[in-house]
Structure 1
Amino acid sequence: MSADLEHIRQVMREADCLYTEAEVEAAIARLGAQITAEMAETNPVVFCVMNGGLIFAGKLLTHLKFPLESSYLHATRYRNQTSGGDLFWKAKPEVSFMDRHVLIIDDILDEGHTLSAIVDFCKHAGARQVHTAVLIDKDHDRKASADLKADYAGLPCVDRYVFGYGMDYKGYWRNAAGIYAVKGL
């Protein structure tokens, strides 16, 4: 077994559980009901932000009780690191959203640089209106702009490095069934 894999296992052993699987699932169901109530008549295109948004989007989509088109996009600032850099597009949206409502589903609103850049991209490419849904909204004063907020946010989170439900620690533990904070980060 490599030392790196042992470190990854140790991170999980020492992590603090911030939200259990049941708490996360309840938040996703609540968001689904809220989004359904507000967007059911808009014929939206729903984009999952890969890779972090994959689990959240998959679970949230089953709670959206209206017709929609879904696709994905892949933009990142982290590239399997623990701190962000410049925005890097791995896959731009392939479904047309010209004059359509767009719902962007992402794992976390941290500083918001990635989500803000994606929203701007969609607006400049002709979206009628862009909505955002995040599982975790991190509580701190380092947002990309003071007015940056997700339209739909599942759970608030302390300012720590978190993983689980799509969020990763160095590329690992996206599959963790709960939201965990790395010890010391």
Structure 2
Amino acid sequence: MNNDIEKVLFTQDQLNKRMDEMAVRLNKKYAGQEPIVIPVLNGAMIFASDMIKRLNFKLTIDPMKASSYAGTSSTGKVKIVQDVKSDVKDRPVIFMEDIIDTGRTLKALSAEMTKRGAKSVEVIAMLDKPETRVVDFHADDYGFKAPNEFLVGYGLDYNGLYRNLPYVGVLKQRVYA
């Protein structure tokens, strides 16, 4: 797998350091509350797992799966494939996402939780790719700004592969061209 990577953008150490910083803010903000943490599957599994271990407040973990991609491009339509089982009414909701790309998915999911009566909705992402945004949406916090390249590792995939790399890297174009 490593031979398919053009370059490493963010090492495991860099990711860990940034998650430590984000957790400090979240621990202060949600002290005494019981938010529902919603990892957006499948990509956010690894990031959410590592982030959640850093949080010292009571929380419920309830993953959600949404789809708006076919291959390497967005279809423009967000579909909830697996919904949360929790009642979000009057509870803070924290979405954890691997990368914010077009912004469509998180904008739609955030609006849905607001419609369901969530006390608040916050989005935490490992990566933010503002160059590819097609809707007005911004994460409340993110690990790093990402370049407009095909990224894999640490939850990010190409056709389901490379999620298990312990870093975020740029996939060589010959792999997906």
CA distance in 2 between counterparts of 1:141 and 1:113 reads 11
Per the TM alignment, residue 78 of structure 1 is displaced from its structure 2 partner at its CA by: 1.8
Query: Which amino acid in the other structure matches residue 161 of structure 2?
Result: Y
Is 1:159 equivalent to 2:154 in the alignment? no
Counterpart pick for 1:149 among 123, 138, 141:
138
Q: Which runs of 5+ in 1 are unaligned?
A: 1-8
CA distance in 2 between counterparts of 1:113 and 1:68 reads 26
* Structure 1 segment 52-91 matched on structure 2, within 5 A: 52-79=43-70, 81-85=71-75, 86-91=77-82
**Closer/same/farther in 2, CA of residues 12 and 128 from structure 1, 3 Å limit:** farther
Question: Which stretch of the first structure deviates more once superposed, 31-40 or 119-128?
Answer: 31-40
Per the TM alignment, residue 88 of structure 1 is displaced from its structure 2 partner at its CA by: 2.2
Query: Which amino acid in the other structure matches residue 122 of structure 2?
Result: H
* Structure 1 segment 24-103 matched on structure 2, within 5 A: 24-79=15-70, 81-85=71-75, 86-103=77-94
* Structure 1 segment 13-24 matched on structure 2, within 5 A: 13-24=4-15
Per the TM alignment, residue 39 of structure 1 is displaced from its structure 2 partner at its CA by: 1.8
Higher strand share: 2
Per the TM alignment, residue 42 of structure 1 is displaced from its structure 2 partner at its CA by: 2.8
Q: TM-score, normalised by structure 1?
A: 0.87
Q: TM-score, normalised by structure 2?
A: 0.91
The secondary structure found in structure 2 opposite 1:99 is coil
Per the TM alignment, residue 105 of structure 1 is displaced from its structure 2 partner at its CA by: 0.5
Aligned residues: 173
CA distance in 1 between counterparts of 2:169 and 2:47 reads 15
> Considering only aligned residues, what root-mean-square deviation do their CA atoms show, in Å?
1.6
CA distance in 2 between counterparts of 1:90 and 1:104 reads 16
Per the TM alignment, residue 137 of structure 1 is displaced from its structure 2 partner at its CA by: 0.8
Per the TM alignment, residue 144 of structure 1 is displaced from its structure 2 partner at its CA by: 1.1
**Match of 1:5?**
none
The secondary structure found in structure 2 opposite 1:15 is strand
CA distance in 2 between counterparts of 1:157 and 1:54 reads 19
